[in-house]
Structure 1
Amino acid sequence: MAAELAELLSIASGLLDDAAPRFVEGIGAPSAVQKGRNDFATELDLELERTLSARLHERTGFPVHGEEFGGPQLATGTAWVLDPIDGTFNYSAGHLLSGMLLALVRDGVPVLGLTWLPGLNQRYAAVADGPLYLNGQQMRPLERGKLSDAMIGFGSFNIDGAGRIPGIFRFNLLGALSRLSGRVRMHGSTGIDLAFTASGVLGGAVVFGHHPWDNAAGVALVRAAGGVVTDLLGRDWTIASGSVLAAAPGVHEELLDLISETADHVRGEVEQ
């Protein structure tokens, strides 16, 4: 198993390396496909997903579930999960905080995670049991930390937004968090928030989204680094989870307590 995963990680890393120059070339690409309110894809999203999906399947035999074209269900079996451009708004605007996310999922559990940030020349990779590698160098496991000392990545929101996790809850949580940490960061990229958490740049990340292509790679990285990953209610994260709370030990517990206090009056709305 370990040897197989190491070989698959090597193959996937090589394919992302091959795609990185094209990714960089397309930074600033305009919207090409509207997917919904405040959501779109560029031509590079489509191109990169087609190319990487075909090559991953050819080299490994496993199917690919991508953001743009879908794929097999992920609760059982083995499949790659691909986001060819995470942080699409950033990417289209010429902002360098964007990247390519790839995970291998077996029976709903991410066993490989890769986050390539070509604009920053950073490549994060890990097998589920660790260690975490950044640009090929082994990183030290995350140490126990305190929320008051940590930067925290925070997901974007519209205060008037409804849905699974209402905007007003996110706003209230941001306010409560600001009282304990003056170092909240909104990067506009789930992949970056989770990769930075895995490497210790951030002490934690609060992710309101539920899409597996956004979350699976980063979950694998944080777990490999010795971090704690749950949903916002403290339940073990699964591929079907509707949110992510990832953080260093100690910081995670403090964040979870803060979320619980904030959510008491809207707990039924936060996530079912």
Structure 2
Amino acid sequence: MVSVGDYAVGKGAEAKNRVRLPLNYQLATRVQRVRMFGSVAVDLAWVAEGKTDACIMLSNNPWDTAAGVLIAREAGAIITDIDGTPHTMKARATIAAAPKILADLVELVAGAEKDADRAV
């Protein structure tokens, strides 16, 4: 089960959401369930607790992610930016998962980005 971040709204939402649609399609065809809880804190805490296997947030604010990233890391999750580099407070995205599936998720997000680029 993988949770994903909310769709963007307001000014610039269309551009921000162009990767989210192919990402949700890619996830829906590969994982048991895709969930959108609406809170990155909940998403990361549930990864830490093992209620979900991973979470993917495509837009970040450090005040939204800082506590959850720490909790998930302490529980053994690996948290990266969209390109698979270590997550920092300046990261563009947050991908958190167990070490065994993280590389697959980073690859899946990269594929969704390519699909979105082709659709433009």
**What TM-score results when the alignment is normalised by the length of structure 1?**
0.40
Letter in 2 for 1:181: V
CA distance in structure 1 between the aligned counterparts of 2:58 and 2:6, rounded to whole angstroms: 8
Q: Distance in 1 between matches of 2:26 and 2:88?
A: 27
Amino acid at match of 2:87: W
Q: Quote the residue 2:62 is aligned against.
A: 212
- What amino acid does structure 1 have at the position aligned with 2:41? G
Choose between structure 1 and 2: higher strand proportion: 1
Within a 5 Å distance, the mapping from 1:2-41 to structure 2 comes to none
Structure with bigger helix share is 2
- Once the two structures are TM-superposed, the CA of residue 210 in structure 1 deviates from its matched residue by 1.4
Structure 1 consecutive aligned stretches of length 4 or more whose deviation exceeds 4 Å: none
Larger Rg: 1
| TM-score between the two structures when normalised by the length of structure 2 | 0.86
Tell whether 2:72 aligns with 1:222: yes
Amino acid in structure 1 at the alignment position of 2:38: G
Q: Which runs of 5+ in 1 are unaligned?
A: 1-150, 268-272
2:112 paired residue number: 262
Residue of structure 2 aligned with 1:232, choices 78, 82, 96: 82
Q: Give the match for residue 193 of structure 1.
A: 43
1:209-240 per-residue CA deviation (whole Å, 9 max, x = no partner) reads 31111101111011111111001111111111
3-state SS of paired residue (1:250): helix
Higher relative contact order (CA 8 A, sep 6+): 2
Inter-partner Cα distance in structure 1 for 2:8 and 2:61: 18
The question of 1:152 aligning with 2:6 is answered no
- Count matched residues: 115
Instruction: Show the 5 A alignment for 1:95-244.
Output: 151-158=1-8, 161-163=13-15, 166-244=16-94
Sequence identity percentage: 31
The answer (yes or no) to whether the contact 2:18–2:116 under 8 Å persists in 1 is no
- Structure 2 gap ranges (5+): none
